[in-house]
Amino acid sequence: MSPEYADSLRRIKMFRKLGAADIAAALDSMRERRFDSGSVVFHQGANGDTLVVVMDGILRVEVTDHEGVTATVGTIQNGEVVGEMAVIDPAPRSASVIAATDVVLLELSRAGLDRLRKTSPSATAGIVGGIIGDVTRRLRTVNKRIDAELDPAQMGLHGAPKKTALADRPAAEDDAGGGLLRRLWQKIAG
């Protein structure tokens, strides 16, 4: 793959702690994918087992509710990752991801991560650690939103949820989240 991909991966939080050899090993486990604007990368509800890193272009994230109403809920741009939970826990996709522009992606499958675990355990540990960190941050954000919805007094300036003692605790102190993440890590590292 292109040497510039190695430089790009080093700037992405999930890969930031990897050394040059681990980045090279990670790239060997990935494949380049190209999608034209309007192409579907992931279908909501379809089983998934891959993550993608956007190397060039923009992806649009859409969710369709039980009544068939579709809403755009976000975009994924250069240097961002989407689908990372599926590499660890294959499950139906929670959203559709569509190429908003022509895109170049690097794809890492669950099988690719398993091969990487055998050839470069340190690269795998770094990537999985990055995924766990990302998922943990998102769970904390969701917890804060739930707290705010349940208790409007928790709302801060401009409608943003105030920080709460529970949401700010490290994952290791959180029995439910820390235990889950610890078991997840053991399953992957095992």
pTM: 0.74
Spatial separation of the C-alpha atoms in residues 60 and 98, rounded to whole Å: 5
Six-digit token pair at 79?
Answer: 């240097």
Tens-of-pLDDT digits for all 190 residues of the chain? 677 899 999 999 889 889 999 999 999 999 999 999 999 999 999 999 999 999 999 999 999 999 999 999 999 999 999 999 888 888 899 999 999 999 999 999 999 999 999 999 999 999 999 888 888 888 888 888 888 778 766 555 555 555 544 444 444 444 444 455 555 555 555 5
Domains assigned to the chain: 3-115 (2.60.120.10), 121-189 (no CATH)
Contact 117, 124 (CB under 8 A): yes
Six-digit token pair at 152?
Answer: 């409007």
Contact 105, 82 (CB under 8 A): no
